[in-house]
Amino acid sequence: MTAFNFELFKTDGNARRGRVTTAHGTFETPNFMATATAATVKAMNVDSVRATGAELAICNTYHLMLRPTAERVADLGGLHKFMNWSGPIVTDSGGFQVMSLSKLRELNEEGVTFRSHVDGSSHKLTPERSMEIQNLLDSDITMCLDECTPHPATHEQAASSMQMSMRWAERCRKAFVKREGYGLFGIIQGGVYEDLRTESVEKLSALKLEGFGIGGLAVGEGQEEMFRVLDFTLPLLAPEKPRYLMGVGTPSDIVGAVMRGIDMFDCVMPTRAGRTGRGYTHRGTLNIRNARHADDPRPLDERCTCQTCKDYSRAYLHHLFRTEEILGAMLLTQHNLHVYQNLMKGLRDAIAGETLEDFVKTFHEEQALGDITAL
């Protein structure tokens, strides 16, 4: 069995080009994960997901513990077999979804008791139970259970929340079953406060975890504030450990975070946008439902090499969305994921070639142009 490992190949400024090795293979960094919340990327099969260039998938502990249950997944051979995904899988701890989706929550030192948003059934999630669930799922990267600090939060509120998350992280480390090729990531909290983020990093570093998640961002603080927090947090982290910015984000967010030293990303944006008619292109976003696309024979993005852009016109996609055909969501989701993966490849190549500054300049210039109407 191969040991869990992060290899740093190249840097360009603070940006990093590397590779993570896990029990189920490797993935290149910087990397954008395919969001497979309930063991599926919505509107996609695994072959289509792989065709976008995705190497890494993230699944949701909260959703899978409710349906079909972690025990059932384990009995059926683990998450990789269950969803037919042979590559590495990350599972989040379930903490964010408990706070955002569940009902009648009761949070205390032991953990959180809540009622399912599905059927109202009562459940208890503790650091130990979160580790057990993620172990049953057989995820390559397990995330510590934490409390997602709300925004805005006072210094006192953020401190209390962060400190409890750090105590939970200690319990997660003790409960995590160490295996070759598997890793546990802690989640840095502390709101927008530098002293609290510093304390969080110090406590997590002492646990000798395999990597770091940066949590509590992209929750309403805005891009400028998010980047400010990254600017004072990332220099505190051991360079030999991968850094995962959780729940981020837009292409612009990703580019800015890569420049600051982030290695891993996940976000529902490209798939959610694909189901609601928003497409990403090298010139920004477009709404395929807009009437101006009804007679447009062009692909979504003439520079894109995805199957959607090769085979289908904007007019056809517009028709699919206007008639509420499922194929529209499938084709646009595939395109959006391809755009995100192509962006990550461009960033990796630019870092390797020490041309990141030029790449980022061109990216922002093209995004600012906006989509154009067919001539």
Q: What is the tens place of the pLDDT at every residue in 233-258? A: 999 999 999 999 999 999 999 999 99
Q: What is the pLDDT of residues 274-323, one digit of tens each?
A: 999 999 999 999 999 999 999 999 999 999 999 999 999 999 999 999 99
pLDDT band with cut points at 50, 70 and 90 for residue 56: very high
- Residue of 140, 253, 266, 371 with catalytic role: 266
Q: What is the pLDDT of residues 131-155, one digit of tens each?
A: 999 999 999 999 999 998 888 999 9
Other beta carbons within 10 angstroms of residue 358's beta carbon come to: 11
Whether CATH 3.30.565.10 fits 5-267:
no
What is the DSSP code string of 97-164?
HHHHH-EEEEE-SS-EEEE-TTT--EEEE-HHHHHHHHHHHT-SEEE-------SS--HHHHHHHHHH
The C-alpha atoms of residue 211 and residue 183 are separated, in whole angstroms, by 7
Q: What is the pLDDT of residue 150?
A: 84
Contact (CB, 8 A) for 180 and 1: yes
Other beta carbons within 10 angstroms of residue 174's beta carbon come to: 11
pLDDT band with cut points at 50, 70 and 90 for residue 375: low
Q: What is the pLDDT of residue 97?
A: 80
Domain assignments of the chain as residue spans, ordered by start: 5-267, 278-369
Q: Verify whether residue 266 is a known catalytic residue.
A: yes
- Residue of 12, 92, 263, 296 with catalytic role: 92
Of 41, 138, 52, 17, the closest CA to residue 88 belongs to 138
Is pLDDT of 87 > 90?
Answer: yes
Q: Verify whether residue 138 is a known catalytic residue.
A: no
Other beta carbons within 10 angstroms of residue 224's beta carbon come to: 8
Is pLDDT of 103 > 70?
Answer: no
The DSSP symbol for 203 reads H
